[in-house]
């Protein structure tokens, strides 16, 4: 098949991991007889430097003309002055909102090869396989806010409509139906009005999915349950900010934040694919980044936007095989294990495709 992929490397380790991922996709294209065209655009801090705008109109046009977007990371100390009028992160938020990518899928699983050096006891990590479904274009990230300025008061507003909760709940219930048929909805319904609406709506949507077992957890309790009984979760649905926080916490289960991929989807096949990790400015440019979260995001792109399931699985199996063979980037290397560089890890994955 022919596909056009918008490539937005962004900042920090973004360009490094995105470069490896386009190599990987080019390999897949050659092996399976596809034609992928990569069109690059700027976003985040580098876009502010180039144009003053973290999401320039040319980048939006490139994405609009593409079948899917592959993104690295945005942000860094250079642009993190709290008094600055524009942040790199705005570019990413505007991109998600522009395309209405309301369902952010963040799968988290443990890798047997990594369990030995994990911070949690091995028996807790058995059979951990969780799919987070994070609402991505509403909630406190997009509610009414007072922009920072010189004043002594600022606010952000958490707000949800019934329709917004319904559409993300439907994605989560359908995902659960295709998995182990359990859904945990996370909220703060004991305190926040918007979260009471969230819970009511999820309960209503549940009526259409009676084969799925539904559990509710308050977000504070959820942070604890995620570490004490991670193997009991199947799909977890949460609002924008709670999903952001819980998915970073859950990365500990996978071994490193560098392991987690994400897909941001709407109702059709279009999507934005990015690793959950950020720009990691402290290790940028040193060949230390773990490309797995980026590679698994590329696999999700093949699966969800291009319907290339076999190709997606080929990437996932090659990563498993490289880990089984003992290859480790610095973030997942245990005591006594010698880490490999980003490009060495990539070469190991390519050779196992």
Residue 135 in the binding site for Mg ion (CB under 5 A): no
Q: Which of residues 67, 187, 234, 244 is near ligand IPM by CB under 6 A?
A: 244
Annotated catalytic residue, options 141, 160, 209, 304: 141
Give yes or no for a contact between 336 and 10, defined as CB atoms under 8 angstroms apart. no
Residue 282 burial class via C-beta count within 10 angstroms: exposed 0-12, middle 13-18, buried 19 and up:
exposed
**Binds 92, which of Mg ion, ligand IPM, none (CB < 5 to 8 A, cut-off by type)?**
ligand IPM
Residue 291 burial class via C-beta count within 10 angstroms: exposed 0-12, middle 13-18, buried 19 and up:
buried
Q: Which stretch binds Mg ion (CB under 5 A): 161-169, 240-248, 282-290, 308-316?
A: 240-248
- For residues 244 and 274, which CB has a smaller minimum distance to Mg ion in the complex? 244
Q: How far is the CB of 317 from Mg ion (least distance, A)?
A: 27
Q: Binding pattern to ligand IPM, positions 67-96, x when CB under 6 A?
A: -------xx-------------x--xx---
Q: Which residues contact 154 (CB under 8 A, 6 or more apart)?
A: 145, 146, 147, 148
Give yes or no for a contact between 239 and 187, defined as CB atoms under 8 angstroms apart. yes
- For residues 244 and 311, which CB has a smaller minimum distance to ligand IPM in the complex? 244
Q: Is 248 a catalytic residue?
A: yes
Strands 103-109 and 129-135: antiparallel
Q: Cα–Cα distance between 242 and 219 in angstroms, integer? A: 7
Q: How far is the CB of 44 from ligand IPM (least distance, A)?
A: 9
Q: Is 188 a catalytic residue?
A: yes
Q: Which of residues 16, 244, 274, 311 is near Mg ion by CB under 5 A?
A: 244
Q: Cα–Cα distance between 199 and 272 in angstroms, integer? A: 27
Give yes or no for a contact between 235 and 171, defined as CB atoms under 8 angstroms apart. no
Give yes or no for a contact between 146 and 155, defined as CB atoms under 8 angstroms apart. yes
Q: Looking at residues 304 to 323 of the shown chain, list those that interact with ligand IPM (rule: CB under 6 A).
A: none
**Binds 89, which of ligand IPM, Mg ion, none (CB < 5 to 8 A, cut-off by type)?**
ligand IPM
Tell me which H or E stretch contains 235: strand 235-238
- For residues 41 and 139, which CB has a smaller minimum distance to ligand IPM in the complex? 139
Q: Which residues are part of the catalytic machinery?
A: 141, 188, 220, 244, 248
Residues in contact with Mg ion by the rule CB under 5 A: 244
Q: In the complex, which residues of this chain contact ligand IPM (CB under 6 A)? A: 74-75, 89, 92-93, 244, 276, 278
């Amino acid at each position: 098949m022919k596909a056009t992929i918008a490539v937005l490397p962004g900042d920090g380790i973004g360009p490094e991991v995105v470069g490896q991922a386009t190599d990987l996709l080019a390999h897949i294209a050659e092996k399976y007889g596809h034609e992928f065209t990569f069109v690059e655009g700027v976003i985040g801090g580098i876009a502010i430097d180039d144009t003053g705008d973290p999401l320039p109109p040319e980048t939006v046009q490139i994405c609009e003309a593409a079948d899917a977007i592959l993104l690295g990371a945005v942000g860094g100390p250079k642009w993190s002055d709290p008094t600055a009028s524009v942040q790199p992160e705005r570019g990413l938020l505007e991109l998600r909102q522009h395309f209405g990518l309301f369902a952010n899928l963040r799968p988290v699983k443990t890798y047997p090869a990594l369990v030995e050096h994990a911070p949690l006891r091995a028996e807790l990590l058995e059979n951990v396989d969780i799919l987070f479904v994070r609402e991505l274009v509403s909630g406190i990230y997009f509610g009414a806010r007072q922009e920072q300025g010189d004043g002594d008061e600022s606010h952000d507003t958490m707000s949800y409509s019934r329709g917004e909760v319904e559409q993300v709940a439907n994605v989560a219930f359908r995902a659960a139906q295709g998995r182990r048929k359990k859904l945990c909805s996370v909220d703060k319904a004991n305190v926040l009005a918007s979260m009471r609406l969230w819970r009511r709506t999820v309960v209503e949507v549940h009526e259409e999915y009676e084969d799925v077992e539904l559990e509710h957890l308050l977000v504070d309790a959820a942070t604890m349950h995620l570490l004490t009984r991670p193997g009991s979760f199947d799909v977890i649905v949460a609002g924008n900010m709670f999903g952001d926080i819980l998915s970073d916490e859950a990365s500990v289960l996978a071994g490193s934040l560098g392991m987690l991929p994400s897909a941001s989807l709407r109702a059709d096949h279009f999507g934005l694919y990015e690793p959950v990790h950020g720009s990691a400015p402290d290790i940028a440019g040193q060949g230390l980044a773990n490309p797995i979260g980026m590679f698994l995001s590329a696999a999700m792109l093949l699966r969800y936007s291009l319907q290339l399931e076999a190709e997606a699985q080929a990437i996932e199996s090659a990563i498993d095989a490289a880990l089984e063979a003992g290859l480790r980037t610095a973030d997942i290397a245990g005591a006594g294990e010698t880490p490999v560089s980003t490009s060495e890890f990539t070469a190991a994955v390519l050779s196992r495709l």
